[in-house]
Amino acid sequence: MLVGKGSLTFRQYELSGKRKRFEPDYLCERLSTFAFAGLASGEEGVAQGWVAPGHLFDGDFDPHRLFHGPYVTFALRIDTRKVPASLINAHAALEIQAALDAEGLERLSNRRKREIKEEIRLRLSEETPPVQKAFGVFWNLKKGKVYLQNTSKTVNEAFRALFERSFETEIKPQIPGLQAAGYARGAGLLENLREARPLELRAAPQGSSSPSEMVQA
């Protein structure tokens, strides 16, 4: 199960686009449209898309499986295939030496070296499985809050871009500065927020009395 398993780590987003209602049929159709399709055999790079919440290969976007109470659940799958440069260089060193020995040469042309490296890269790409990861998503449709079970910058950027494209809306991450700005705007304290500077906290001087008689803020 990709959503809600074990202890939860997640980042909160708030829906901020014009669209407010998301019907189950629409959600399932859009999840299928932007479902994970994978990298081609031997293709290097990154592929991302949605999977259903059961497991990495779960492509069954049946509403009965996705909806739990007020939440729709699914997952972002990201596959990455990259042949390490050090591995290519090591193979290339061996094959270049073998070519030099076989042909009795002292050096190969740069073009020939590039061709050898490219052949090695393509061969190793075919042999290298992609790194496959999935990150749970749960979306409270009533409250307009979306939660991604990952907090890394790259995954969150990929998630936000795909989510906004998939569901034709916008989402804003709830980060402290933006939350403070939103609160301050509503409370008429934006100027106080603009003027706020980091607290320089030091121990009160020795002998200072307790401020307990002061009114608690």
Partner 1 sequence: MAATDVAFAVERSFLAQEFLTWLWFRSEVEGGEFDLDDRHVAVVIEDSLSLCGWDDEGPRTSLRGGNPTLRPEAAGALASGLMLNKARLIVAEGNREWQFSLDTESLDLLSVKVPALDEDDEVEDPLAEKLGAGERLRETIDLLFEHFLTVRLGGDWQKIEVPRLEHWVRVKVERAHADADKQPN
The window from 17-25, 43-51, 66-74, 109-117 that contacts partner 1 (CB under 8 A) reads 66-74
Per DSSP, 130 falls in state P
CA-wise closest residue to 124 among 101, 92, 168:
92
Burial annotation 149-167 (CB, 10 A radius, 16+ → b, else e)? bbeeeebbebbbebbeebb
The token pair that represents 198 in the structure block? 């980091």
| Beta carbons of 29 and 35 less than 8 angstroms apart | no
148-207: which residues touch partner 1 (CB under 8 A)? 151, 172-181, 183-184, 187, 189, 192-193, 196, 198-206
CB of residue 208 to partner 1, shortest distance in Å: 7
CB of residue 53 to partner 1, shortest distance in Å: 9
CB of residue 172 to partner 1, shortest distance in Å: 6
CB of residue 54 to partner 1, shortest distance in Å: 12
CB of residue 210 to partner 1, shortest distance in Å: 6
Distance between CA atoms of 93 and 109, rounded to whole angstroms?
Answer: 14
CA-wise closest residue to 13 among 196, 191, 167:
167
Q: Does 41 bind partner 1 (CB under 8 A)?
A: no
7-36: which residues touch partner 1 (CB under 8 A)? 7-12
Of the candidates 55, 68, 112, 185, which one interacts with partner 1 according to CB under 8 A? 68
| Beta carbons of 77 and 105 less than 8 angstroms apart | no
CA-wise closest residue to 165 among 68, 71, 30, 55:
30
Q: Where on the chain is the footprint of partner 1 (CB under 8 A)?
A: 1, 3-4, 7-12, 68-71, 73, 138, 140, 143, 145, 147, 151, 172-181, 183-184, 187, 189, 192-193, 196, 198-206, 208, 210-211, 214-217
